[in-house]
Structure 1
Amino acid sequence: MTDDMTTQVFKEEAFELLGELETSLLELEDVPDDMDLINRVFRALHTIKGSGSMFGFDAIAAFTHHVESVFDMVRNGAIPITKELLTLVLSSRDYIYTLLESTSGEGDPAVGESILEGLRCIVQGESSEDAPADIAENETAENAPIVVEEESESVIPWDNLYKIIINSEAADDVSTEALSPLYDELSRVGEIKSEVVHTDYENDSAHSGKWWEVLLLSNTDSSSVEEIFFFTDVPIVVKVKELNIDKLQEYIAKAKKESESVSSVSETSESSVASSSATAAGVGAVDGDSSVFVHSPEEKPKGPKKLGEILIDRGDLTQETLTEVLADQKPLGELLTAKGVVTRDKVDSALAEQSATKEKITRRKMEVASSIRVSAEKLDFLVDLVGELVIVQAQISQVVGEKNDPSLTVLSEELERLSDELRDSTLGIRMLPIGSTFSKFRRLVRDLSDELGKEMDLHTIGAETELDKTVIERLGDPLVHLLRNSIDHGIESPEVREANNKPRRGSISLSAEHSGGEVVILIKDDGKGMSKDVIMAKAIEKGLVAADAELSSKEIFNLIFEPGFSTAAKVTNVSGRGVGMDVVKRAIDSLRGRIDVNSEEGKGSIITIKLPLTLAIIDGLQVQVDDGFFVIPLSLVEECVELTRQDIEEANGQQFVNLRGEIVPYLRIREWFDIEGELPAIEQIVITGVEGNRMGIVVDTVIGEHQTVIKSLGRVYRDVEGISGATIKGDGTLALILDVPKLVRTVVAEIKAVG
């Protein structure tokens, strides 16, 4: 792997960790005593620091080390979780993000020092008198030894104790340094209290080559510890054994008693003597230098051989026979039940727990093995190739249909089936949970709440709803604009809310769900709502509508999307300049989506966004006008009806059709694009529905459904109104994709202008 690729991998992992860090900090604000969240924050900081140092991002490693030290004090109960602390750590997260994005790997030192100074003040003000003032000098978790006072029982803030045996069958290829990344990962889930290296022993079948003993204190389960070793490329075999945590004191006490009888091969020092003492009991005490000691063969305690081993060595018994005999032994559960030690129900319960744990470990291994990181560029290229395959498949189907060969027809149908499955599978790979976007907005709401002096909560629903990754990426900015407006314009100050008999804290709900071939996103708040009178007055003032215009509620609310429109009394850092909502409208339109607003004064507002699942391949309705072909997105099509000469005469030249008692306007594609040629005796009207408005699109012929691979237009045709893209038909000719929302808005605007 090249240095550039390695750096990119580190950055991608770091960005993910920063996202996890932000989410954990925001959750921690709601439950400041949640140790799981505190440990998640610490692990994220610890991993960023370790990886940054490993890959040469020294500025990130140095800065993150200080922040990590503060959260280590939080873990130990020396510093409480406060809003001020969380704000500083969130600022630290932003600063690390800046360092990652910087081409030089450096940021503004003044910003970093300001954050660290704030953390120092918290440490000085909240920690005990003997706590060091400089957070850079605080010991981290892996350097903090357990202190055992004589004739007193020390308190160990951990739930589990694990002995980890790491065995290498290739002693020459594995060094302690090679295991350093694994030790860093172990430090993420707990506290390493011992690291002992053993050399090869004669006649030792249990451990061939070099092997390590690690003692780990942790609050996590054994399966999580085992997962740490799933990714390593180092040729090792690992066993994780859970011990009774009370045994730790026995180990240390035993180490004290046997300290004089144990000699170390390493260079002697005060720390090495203490460490070798613990080593005798199988628990090496790790100091700040993380010293490693090598045992001589005489130090390895040897127990008596088991009966079966002796018989096999003498040749009186084979391993196969021993295995068969041992298989006849009753399971421990049956023996315990027969002796009346435990009941059958308790044994069954324990077996169920054991089975669940094994299943969990197996499932996690499978998930790890089946996960792979793929760059977005490769994924986009794959989708393009599938699109080309779909086009070729359509061409083959057309040729086969003309040949009328049964054998070719069977092959063509099989190719079509495989092509459809490959298309669906590839598009499924591009689908991501929209929750990755939702999670970013908690920080936005928090920061704006502080800036505007408001109190509010953000509730997210349907974070697991999947949407095309391109749609998700382009959806971020519009949602930011909408949330900022809801916070600034919608949610009232706490005092106003209390005066209006509302809860002091406002509420904003962000939800997503699938509806047919679309995703519906709702942004709902319980604020003051929108006044239709105020909106109309502002629209008349700006000349957007006539003073005597009569608009429906939906049309009035949609005025907020007009360029330059704003009802804010004053300009703030958040809103009031009339820039934002029109940008939202254009962004949603570019995604072939729709946006609606509904509001009730005094109760709040609801903004509804409807988006297609994907922008790559859609189902369309193919139509023809003269020699040209067009595609209308099938999700917008309601029905198709005929338009006869009699219908045109009855409308007195007006472009309206009476559809079962409803007057529906229509637009001729022939006129819109100035297509010459003779009109057919009977035309076809494709009835579409957009934003609550129905409109007909008049074409010569409706051909039928068409699997449409969307191709973007070149610069020359990009701004042509009424066209959103193009596709290639089965015969290789081009078909234009109609921008139906744009056509509908144009017709509605013309009708309003006529009055």
Structure 2
Amino acid sequence: MSDFDAALNIFAQEAGELLNDMEDALLALESAPGDAEIVNRLFRAMHTIKGSSGLFGFDPIVAFTHEAETVLDGVRQGERPIDAELISVLLDSKDHVAQLVEHCLAAPETALPEDLVARGRSLIGRLGGRCEGAVSPAPEPSVLTSEAGGPISADDHWLISLAFGENAFRNGMDPLSFIRYLTTLGEIRQILTLAPAMPAGDSMDPESCYLHFKIALQSEANKQTIESVFEFIVDDCDIKILPPNAKLSDYLGLLDNLEPAQWQKLGDMLVEIGALTRGEIDSALREQDAARGIGAGKPIGEILVERQVVQQPIVEHALRKQEQTKQKLAAEANYIRVDAGKLGHLIDLVGELVISSAAMNLIVERHGLGDAGDVAAGMNALVGSIRDTALELRMVQIGETFSRFRRVVRDVGKELRKDIELYISGGETELDKAMVEKINDPLTHLVRNALDHGIEPPEQRLAAGKPAQGSVHLNAFHQSGHIVIQVSDDGAGLNADKIVAKAIAAGLIKADHSLSRQEIYGLIFAAGLSTKEQATSLSGRGVGMDVVKKNIEALRGSVAIDSVEGQGTTISIELPLTLAIIDGFMVGCDRERYIIPLNLVDECLEMGDKECNIDEVEHYINLRGQVLPYLRLSEYFQQPRTETGEGRRESMVVVKSGRGKAGFVVDELHGEHQTVIKPLGKVFEKLTGITGATVLGDGTVALILDVPGLVQAAMTRRPSRLTASSA
């Protein structure tokens, strides 16, 4: 990959992060429209994207973001208030920028499609509208006070104070010539001539200069340009230049956008944004050093304000920015960007290391190498630590994924004319990055379903004694080596009778069924079943919930439903923490070995155990009063038996999947086994009961069982009387 391609990748990542941050900020503004810091976040995001796009010559992005940036600057200046319409158009603008970025990265040399051009023009038109009654807040006036002429306002003028030294005339300096030259930069609106040190009568020296001037200059020049007028008299004149208050917000905005590569001193920050000149800083530093010499040192910011070369709000804002930068750089120093491909390769190598470690243990055990046993045990511990650490590198918090649904809830709520609030908890819960990417689509469908099916219209909620505003809650937490993600709503809940009627009409169940309530709720995952009376653009055709379940089970997860009619529904998704390496429990049937994910194993027992009563005909056991279906793995996978039934000593592994439990009858229990998951090829991808494979230490292959699928298979084979007794 060339340096340019690497830079493009970084641009794409940063643009995506900035756009996500912008969406979060806009959604936060709906509840806190007066938060200036959120507005600054929006402006910084758009400004940064514009600047980065300009570096790569992405002119369409630069042109559009400039318009949005102008509007956001107007918001910062108080010229345009934040309202629902502006938030909506800015959200649409954020989406448009994302499309522009995608186009420029994919085809930078081609013109924008007409629909994209038209959408941009439409958004610029919507952005350009000004709201009636927007009033700019009046800035607090800053003044230079004179003994003779009173205050001079700094609202719209540069305030320049010139205190000439006594030797100015002797050194050939003409104060009036500098004032005349100053008029080339703008218009002098007011000038006060003072002589506070003028001696009385004969004590005055006609060759000495006692003149002081206070000047109000209206000019578009910057501070450095104005100071350069007096560069020849810096040794014979005390010069103070205070910017107009009209520039105060500009300096504060520049401080907000300042992104230094390293921690900066206060003076350097103010010089960089143009609020101070280097000469003013050097002069203040000399005063500070002199004061320290007599034990009266002051902070540089206090000196600058006292010298009237910068306003107090700018110094305070710069100090806050300095502290924020310090904290940000300290945090960033703990992180480095790592290419996801390299991280994936590392995980693969760790997996091979786990397999090699298992092979070494097998050799040590087979040949009775006692001396090597301790070394092997130590290496196993190290391999385990390396495995856990490598997997942690791919762990990310799920909160960012949850936050993306704020926009979904907002937009869908407006479309359905429902007032819905999204609540998020457990956002700090971590899981594998690959898992986060694959769970996004199922979560999106479940959230949309909750908004459309679950939450009632406001009038129905009020009639039912509920608040008009509905709520959807996303929650995540760790439980027994799994991550559990819950999508809850306080809507109408599921109507079991309606589900049954729909299922009978669709031929999914018979009229004389004896399904438990949980099994009835589970029918909504059947293909083609929907309780929605009328299909909408969001749901109602029975397409999607079956796909949701398949996608979750493809991740070795399970899904369960709890619902109370009239109160709401909770859908719980249980997922493994990682897709790469797991702790497994190895079992054997005849000459085949299988791996069961260890966190799904509940207990192991012998088939002849007194605690259980076995019904070999109906394939169920009564385990301490609990009815459990079971499968013989050898029969399920149609393996030929090598021993007679009487010569076998069988064991049962009780497994759990969501709220379902079942038993797997096996011949051997081999114990825990670190399992490196290898995907099955396309030839075997439709094989039921199996989700993958792993290579054992002796080079043989063990199949990884699809526990949710096998539990479901065991439960569907049980007789009706068991269903009734367990309901």
TM-score by length of 2: 0.75
The equivalent of 1:728 in structure 2 is 695
Counterpart in 2 of 1:504? 468
What amino acid is aligned across from residue 638 of structure 2 in structure 1? Answer: D
Aligned to 1:89: 90
Partners of 1:280 and 1:242 in 2: how far apart?
8
| Aligned counterpart for 1:104 among listed residues 101, 104, 107 | 107
Shift of 1:374: 1.5
Give the 3-state SS of the residue equivalent to 2:118 in structure 1.
Answer: helix
Q: Which runs of 5+ in 2 are unaligned?
A: 145-150, 158-220, 232-246, 299-319
Cα displacement (A) at 1:361: 6.8
| Residues in 2 aligned to 1:383 and 1:87: alpha-carbon distance in whole angstroms | 43
How far the C-alpha of 1:372 sits from its partner, in A, is 1.3
- Residue 123 (structure 1) aligns with: 130
Residue of structure 2 in register with 1:670 after alignment: 634
Which letter does structure 2 place at the counterpart of 1:405? L
Write the deviation string for residues 447-473 of structure 1: whole angstroms up to 9, x where unpaired. 101111111100000111101111110
d(CA) in 2 for partners of 1:508 and 1:465? 19
Q: Which residue of 1 aligns with 2:187?
A: none
Pair 1:608 & 2:609 matched: no
Aligned to 2:659: 692
Cα distance between partner residues in 1 of 2:482 and 2:335: 27
SS of the residue corresponding to residue 720 of structure 1 reads: coil
Give the secondary-structure state (helix, strand or coil) at the position aligned to 1:241: helix
Letter in 2 for 1:731: D
1:599 matches 2:607: no
| Residues in 1 aligned to 2:223 and 2:700: alpha-carbon distance in whole angstroms | 72
Q: Distance in 2 between matches of 1:484 and 1:195?
A: 57
Check 1:752–1:505 CA distance in 2 against 1; reply closer, same or farther (3 A cut).
Answer: farther
Q: For residues 9-52 of structure 1, give each alpha carbon's deviation from its aligned partner in whole angstroms, at most 9, with x where no partner exists.
A: 11111011000000000001111110010000011000001111
1:641 alignment partner AA: L
Q: Give the partner amino acid of 2:83.
A: T
Equivalent in the alignment of 1:113: 121
Partner of 1:435: 399
Aligned to 1:656: 620
Give 1:241 shift: 3.4
Displacement, 1:306? 7.8
C-alpha deviation, 1:660, in angstroms:
2.2
Tell me the residue number matched to 1:230. 262
Task: Check if 1:490 corresponds to 2:466.
Answer: no
CA contact (8 A) 2:398 2:436 kept: yes
Whose radius of gyration is greater, 1 or 2?
2
Q: How does 1:295-444 map to 2 (within 5 A)?
A: 364-444=328-408
Does the 8 Å CA contact 1:645/1:682 hold for their aligned counterparts?
A: no
Query: Cα RMSD (Å) of the superposition?
Result: 3.9
Aligned ranges for residues 217-296 of structure 1 at < 5 Å? 228-230=260-262, 238-241=264-267, 282=280
Is the contact between residue 592 and residue 612 of structure 1 (CA under 8 Å) also seen in structure 2?
yes
Q: How far, CA to CA, are the matches of 1:280 and 1:721 in structure 2?
A: 75
State the 1:645 CA deviation: 11
CA distance in 2, matches of 1:743, 1:455: 42
Structure 1 spans left out of the alignment, 5+ residues: 131-143, 157-191, 202-213, 232-237, 253-277, 284-298, 309-324, 334-355
Residue type at the aligned position of 2:671:
G
In structure 1, the residue matched to 2:32 is 31
CA deviation profile, 1:545-564 (whole Å, cap 9, x unmatched): 11111211101110100001
Query: Contact between 1:45 and 1:67, CA under 8 Å: does it hold in 2?
Result: yes
1:51 and 2:77 matched: no
Aligned partner of 1:581 among 524, 535, 545: 545
The Cα shift of 1:494 comes to: 1.4
Rounded to whole Å, the distance in 2 between the matches of 1:369 and 1:693 is 47
CA gap of 1:643–1:331, structure 2 versus 1, over 3 A, is farther
Residue 272 of structure 1 corresponds to none
Inter-partner Cα distance in structure 2 for 1:563 and 1:370: 48
1:339 alignment counterpart = none
Take 1:661 and 1:280, find their aligned partners in 2: how far apart are those partners?
Answer: 85
Structure 2 CA distance, aligned partners of 1:95 and 1:225? 23
Task: Tell me what 2:197 maps to.
Answer: none
Contact 2:266 2:322 in 1 (8 A): no
Q: 1:76 to 1:645 in 2, by over 3 A?
A: closer
Aligned equivalents of 2:557, 2:126: Cα separation in 1: 45
Confirm or deny: 8 A CA contact 2:419 2:468 kept in the other structure. Answer: yes
Cα separation, 1, equivalents of 2:459 and 2:553: 38
Aligned to 2:23: 22
Question: Residue 79 of structure 2 corresponds to which residue in structure 1?
Answer: 78
Quote how far apart the aligned CAs of 1:230 are: 2.1
Aligned residue identity for 1:598: D
Q: Answer whether contact 2:631 2:663 (CA < 8 A) is retained.
A: yes
Mapped to 2, the partners of 1:386 and 1:744 lie a distance apart of 31
Q: How many residues align?
A: 600
How many percent identity over aligned positions?
A: 41
Q: Report Cα offsets for 1:616-660 as digits up to 9, x if no partner.
A: 111111011111111111111111111249999963533222322
Contact in 1 for aligned 2:445/2:544 (Cα 8 Å): yes
SS in structure 1 of the partner of residue 541 of structure 2:
coil
Conserved? CA contact 1:645–1:681, under 8 Å: no
> Per the alignment, do residues 652 and 383 of structure 1 end up closer, same or farther by CA in structure 2, a change over 3 Å counting?
closer
Q: Aligned AA for 2:506? A: K
| Contact 1:195–1:215 (8 Å) recurs in 2 | no
Q: CA–CA distance in 2 between the matches of 1:596 and 1:620?
A: 23
Query: CA separation of 1:194/1:576 partners in 2, compared to 1, >3 Å: closer, same or farther?
Result: farther
- In structure 1, the residue matched to 2:511 is 547
* Pairwise CA distance, 1:279: 5.9
SS of alignment partner, residue 467 of structure 2: coil
Gap change, CA 1:550 and 1:85, over 3 Å in 2: same
Q: Spell out, residue by residue over 1:419-469, the C-alpha distance to the aligned partner (whole angstroms, 9 max, x if none).
A: 111111110010000011101100000010111111110000011110111
TM-score (normalizing by structure 1): 0.73
**1:696 offset after TM fit, Å?**
1.0
2 CA distance for matches of 1:279 and 1:571? 67
Q: Is residue 709 of structure 1 aligned with residue 709 of structure 2?
A: no
Contact 1:193-1:217 at 8 Å conserved across structures: no
- Work out the CA distance in 2 between the residues paired with 1:453 and 1:737: 47
Query: In 2 relative to 1, CA 445–193 (structure 1 residues): closer, same or farther, beyond 3 Å?
Result: farther
Match of 1:623 in 2: 587
Amino acid at match of 1:36: E
Q: Residue 531 of structure 1: CA displacement? A: 0.8
Aligned residue type for 1:492:
E
Contact kept, 8 Å, 1:458 with 1:508, in 2: the verdict is yes
CA contact 1:70–1:123 (8 Å) conserved in 2:
no
Deviation at 1:752, TM superposition (A): 5.7
| Residue 459 to residue 645, structure 1, CA distance change in 2 (3 Å) | closer
Q: Is the 2:46–2:65 Cα contact (8 Å) retained in structure 1?
A: yes
| Per-residue deviation, 1:520 | 1.1
SS in 1 for 2:717: helix
Which secondary structure does the structure 2 equivalent of 1:622 belong to?
strand
CA gap of 1:195–1:363, structure 2 versus 1, over 3 A, is: same
- What secondary structure is seen at the aligned counterpart in 1 of 2:265? strand
Please report how far the alpha carbon of residue 613 of structure 1 lies from its aligned counterpart in structure 2 after TM superposition. Answer: 0.7
